Structure 1
Amino acid sequence: SVTVRIANDEGAALPVRVHQAVSPNGDGINDFLMIEGVRDYPENKVTIFDKSGKVMAEIEEYDNRNNVFPGGRTVRDGTYYYYL
């Protein structure tokens, strides 16, 4: 277990921003989980899990291009959680 704390001026934008909406319907809008700034942390790992805690995906080196969620995979409508 590792704890990471980000120290920044109050009100400053965080270096990583996760877009909360995903609608993988092929229209080019929110088709995958977009994580701004993730390329600055190439050795990352994103874990996606459902409301019951079941792991849906573990994606190493998430990059908003080749390694994304859902990555062409069909998932049901619902609320999902992530750990980055």
Structure 2
Amino acid sequence: MDDDDDNDGVLDGDDYFPTSDEPKLVPAQAFTPNGDGNNDAWVIPGIDNYPNNKVSVYNRWGHEVFATRSYKNDWEGFYKSRNEKLPAGSYLYIIDLGDGNAPLQGWIFINY
């Protein structure tokens, strides 16, 4: 039995796209980090297939409010200092997969 069908280094049980080595990423458009255990973190299915990724999030004024490398689907809407939650609203994201392709960008909505 092959535990990594697409040979991308991510075991099938942890891989959102276990049979495709080039998954199309479709980040969640919204999340609700209110601590109820449902949709508390922003999920980007398949991001683990791109270990050199860089994820950045900006507010409506263009200020960076979150940035990380090797995103692990664990951001719960905290400002970059991790001591306060961002206000509900729309935020621009930019995802550089680190593979030489153009970055992905779009909008994420935080609601509580």
Q: Same fold (TM over 0.5)?
A: yes
Identity %: 32
> Which runs of no fewer than 5 residues in structure 2 stay unpaired?
1-22, 96-112
1:9-66 per-position Cα deviation (integer Å, ceiling 9, x unaligned): xxxxx5211001121101122211110000000110100001110100111100114x
Q: How does 1:1-84 map to 2 (within 5 A)?
A: 15-65=24-74, 68-70=75-77, 73-84=84-95
CA distance, structure 2, for counterparts of residue 36 and residue 42 of structure 1 = 13
CA contact (8 A) 2:31 2:41 kept: yes
> Which runs of no fewer than 5 residues in structure 1 stay unpaired?
1-13
CA distance, structure 2, for counterparts of residue 39 and residue 69 of structure 1 = 17
* Alignment RMSD: 1.7
Q: Find the residue that maps to 1:35 and give its secondary structure.
A: coil
Larger radius of gyration: 2
CA distance, structure 1, for counterparts of residue 32 and residue 76 of structure 2 = 11
CA contact (8 A) 1:57 1:69 kept: no
**Which residue of structure 1 aligns with residue 4 of structure 2?**
none
Structure 1 segments, 4+ long, off by >4 Å, are none
Letter in structure 1 aligned against 2:38: I
What TM-score do you get using the length of structure 2 for normalisation? 0.55
**Which residue of structure 2 aligns with residue 6 of structure 1?**
none
